[in-house]
Amino acid sequence: MNRIVVMGVSGCGKTTVGQGLAAALGGRFVDADDLHTDAARAQMGAGMPLTDEDRAPWLVRVGQTLAAPPLPVVVACSALRRRYRDAIRASAGGDVLFLHLAGPRHVIAARMALRRDHYMPVSLLDSQFAALEPPEPDETFATLDLHDTEADLIAAAVAAAASVREPG
């Protein structure tokens, strides 16, 4: 698969796994955080979650990034709700593999507490878990377990990307 989103709640390791996967595939990596507007980052940094209205143009930008050459492209993006993933797929113009990094709240909160200079505060983690709708059977996805090591997560991501055939 040439269009991949590494998804999950804030602090789960999307950037780390996404960068490792992109390097292993010889592709490019994009952090969807970089596609947010300054206003959206300021809003989240102030402890206020984005609304779906705030998020809509960002999801379009994520999908457009997945559609733009060169491929493969790996995007780290929360993609917490089904409708967000649907919007990304629609903007990408085709199927997208979602790699869901799943793990317990306490592990992710501990990781977040160690981060410096990140706009997303630990105080918003509960809202992230409340919003999370894990991928459904009719979506193209794999779930990766955060109890695995970084190397094992990247290896599992590479295997998942190799197992999905592009349409046509």
Q: What residue has token string 């993609």?
A: 79
The SS3 of residue 2 is coil
Q: What is the pLDDT of residues 149-161, one digit of tens each?
A: 999 999 999 999 9
For the cut 70, the answer to whether the pLDDT of residue 116 exceeds it is: no
The structure's pTM equals 0.88
Instruction: Compute, in degrees rounded to 10, the torsion defined by CA atoms 126, 148, 85, 50.
Output: 30
Q: What is the pLDDT of residues 60-81, one digit of tens each?
A: 999 999 999 999 999 999 999 9
The answer to whether 30 touches 64, Cβ cutoff 8 Å, is no
Among 166, 154, 125, 140, smallest CA distance to 8 is for 125
Report how far apart, in Å, the C-alpha atoms of 17 and of each of 51, 57, 102, 103 are: 27, 25, 12, 14
Each residue of 19-28: b (16+ CB within 10 Å) or e? bbbbeebebb
Strands 73-76 and 28-31: parallel
